[in-house]
Amino acid sequence: LENLTIRNSTTNGVTVSDARFLDINTTIIQNCVNGVNGQYVTEFSLNGLSNVLNLSDGISISNGGRFNWSSVNSVSNAGHGVVLNAVRSAGFSEGTSNSKQGDGFNITNCSNIVLQSFDANVNSSNGVNAVSGNSILSFLNSTTEANGGGGIVLSASSNNTKITNADSFFNFGYGIDILYGSSVNTIIVGCETGYNSSGGLNDNGTGTLKSTTVNIFA
């Protein structure tokens, strides 16, 4: 699917089920229910997708993997920006997930997920919410600002997570928040957090390693 504008669907803009080798390029999806809704999908490429003003989630995928997503902008949808459930081996780069009623990124039961060079700002809940059951998540070169919850939140049982070069400012919660000891072996390197209402870093995790992390309070 390429060079399309999809608007005003009373269901989803694009629904994908039991599919492989799907590319969506240079496409606008606006004012549908979910922008993209998929299940059991692999080798899924998104490049140059604008998902705006949809009535639920911008992108919602359950059960799949081996994704390559770049220049994806999920903005001003009424639900979460990007929802990943039971997805493995997926990359998201150079995109945004901003101004939602929920989380920018909502991640559950996923493994080997890399989000890099992204921003998740001005969401009503969290910028990034690793909900539970995750392993080997990487958040690289990110900006999470002015969210109603935390910037990057590990809610429960998200293990072996790496947070590198993350800037997290002006959030209502913590800049980086590891809520429970069930999240094991988080590595935090080269991050700046500041002007967050609850504080820069909340670490209730098990075996967290922190290096050259700057916490600024105001």
pLDDT in tens, 63-100: 999 999 999 999 999 999 999 999 999 999 999 999 77
- What does the pLDDT average to over 172-182? 95
Which residues are within 8 A (CB) of 18 and not within 5 positions of it... i.e. 6 or more apart?
A: 39, 40, 41
CA–CA gap between residue 92 and residue 70 (Å, rounded): 6
pLDDT at 172: 96
Coil/strand/helix, residue 39: strand
Whether 128 shows a pLDDT value over 60: the answer reads: yes
pLDDT at 174: 95
**Residue found by looking up tokens 């599919």 in the block:** 19
The answer to pTM > 0.85 is yes
Task: Yes or no: say if 13 and 29 are a contact pair by the CB < 8 Å rule.
Answer: yes
CA-CA-CA-CA torsion sign (164, 143, 48, 111): positive
**Residue found by looking up tokens 């945004």 in the block:** 96
Whether 213 shows a pLDDT value over 60: the answer reads: no
Length of the chain: 218
Q: Exposure of 53 by Cβ count < 10 A (0-12 exposed, 13-18 middle, 19+ buried)?
A: middle
Whether 10 shows a pLDDT value over 70: the answer reads: yes
pLDDT at 101: 87
